Structure 1
Amino acid sequence: MRGVPLPVALVGPDPLSLGGLAALLAARPELSLVAQLAPEQASPGALASAGAAAAVVDPGLPARFEALRAVAAALPAIALVSSEAEAPGALAAGARGVVRRDAGPARLAAALLAAAEGLLVLDAPLSDRLLRPPPALADPEPLTPREREVLALLGEGLANKSIAQRLGVSERTAKFHVEAILTKLGAESRAEAIVRAARQGWLVL
């Protein structure tokens, strides 16, 4: 058992949601809230200056994982998700744990403490999908060079508009390539496509 409270930063795009989360966690004696940051503020330097040893990251609605990827590279991060479909993307972005948004403060505090000790945390309602053996992909159709470029940007958590800007194509073209990747991988979502591509060796996370 920790002798001192765990310093925790909250990161998310909605100040009201962060405020509500802070109010819930403020009463937990095992935690010490040291910062509430918008995604663009959550740099490694800002987290270090605040003295955070772990973080709760809200990827927003719809979920975007750029901020989570940056925070998770600096310290153990717990991602809040709305559904099991978002969980693979959160783990692919580096989250040490994934917890549903409706988890209570005691559950979230336990997840933070476990993550800070180096454990991987999966909320029980999410674990079935994450731990279920994936269906075998029998000789999936190979990706074109352009689709591989798009897949790499998907792995960075970019939306179609950002992918289009990076590649110098229209957003409609980027969407077309994303849909082609999902079809070839037999994936129902971008997050699932990232996980399946990693298992195929097509993407390094």
Structure 2
Amino acid sequence: MQSTGVRILVVADEMLARAGLASLLTDQRGVKVVGQADGKSLEGELEIYQPDILVWDVGMGGVLSVFPDDVPAIALVADGTVASQVRGLGVEGVLPRDASPKLIVSAMTAVMQGLVVVDPSFAAALSTPRAVSDSSEQVGQIDVTPRELEVLRQLAQGTSNKAIAYELDISEHTVKFHVNSLMTKLDARNRTEAVVIATRTGLIPL
């Protein structure tokens, strides 16, 4: 184990999964595995180890409600359904369980720079279309413009402002304007809360 580097807390409900994941990451440059925890003991372990980031083997789901909102995380998931669930909780990095250690470390670097990393294999699960009739009804109720709805859908996929600007062929300043407008209309304190509220009201799919 290295003496310096990004401090990782490995989380998994199964002891063997924790030990295996910790072993894989220990040999990677620039990182330091400072401890291991399961979902139930996570809160206490966070105080003890004070990690920079979590690497969580979520598998088929488990206790998802205990994801902390003040520590960035990489979730290793079994399928698109769980990928969608953890993104809905605001988890910044979502990778398959068989991701290589190098891929996990690369994703960690991106997440700690404020980016969102989602493996392409989960793209379809995170962009399921919804019924047109439901869309029209809810957009009318909340008075969201078509452009704001496009931005909202991108936010739900964890897309950065810069990437949204590129995707929609508008300036980053315009994206920020739309995001602020959405937060006001949805009475949300941040982007994540805006997505949660929009999901509950039917503006975007679960």
Q: CA deviation at 1:30?
A: 1.6
Distance of 2:196 and 2:89 partners within structure 1: 14
Deviation sequence 1:30-70 (CA, Å, 0-9, x none): 21101101111111x53143130000122243544123x2x
CA RMSD for the aligned pairs? 2.9
Q: Give the match for residue 55 of structure 2.
A: 56
Distance of 2:35 and 2:80 partners within structure 1: 28
CA separation of 1:135/1:21 partners in 2, compared to 1, >3 Å: closer, same or farther? Answer: same
Any idea what SS the aligned residue of 1:78 has? strand
Pairs aligned (count): 144
Q: Give the match for residue 39 of structure 2.
A: 39
Contact 2:10 2:55 in 1 (8 A): yes
**Where does structure 2 lack aligned partners over 5 or more consecutive residues?**
139-194
101, 104, 108: which one pairs with 1:105? 101
Distance of 2:118 and 2:10 partners within structure 1: 19
Amino acid at match of 1:139: D
Deviation sequence 1:101-129 (CA, Å, 0-9, x none): 01110001111111111111111211243
Q: Give the match for residue 8 of structure 2.
A: 8
Deviation sequence 1:62-115 (CA, Å, 0-9, x none): 544123x2x2x1200111110112111011122111100011100011111111
Distance of 1:139 and 1:114 partners within structure 2: 36
Distance of 1:78 and 1:198 partners within structure 2: 24
**Where does structure 1 lack aligned partners over 5 or more consecutive residues?**
143-194
Contact 2:61 2:77 in 1 (8 A): no
Q: Give the match for residue 176 of structure 1.
A: none
| 1:134 correspondence with 2:129 | yes
60, 70, 77: which one pairs with 1:74? 70
Contact 2:58 2:76 in 1 (8 A): yes
Amino acid at match of 1:32: K
Contact 1:14 1:60 in 2 (8 A): no
Q: TM-score, normalised by structure 2?
A: 0.61
- Greater RCO structure (CA 8 Å; 6+ sep): 1
Q: Which runs of 4+ in 1 moved over 6 A?
A: none
Q: CA deviation at 1:133?
A: 5.9
Q: Give the match for residue 89 of structure 1.
A: 85
Contact 2:74 2:108 in 1 (8 A): yes
Distance of 2:87 and 2:119 partners within structure 1: 12
Distance of 1:54 and 1:87 partners within structure 2: 18
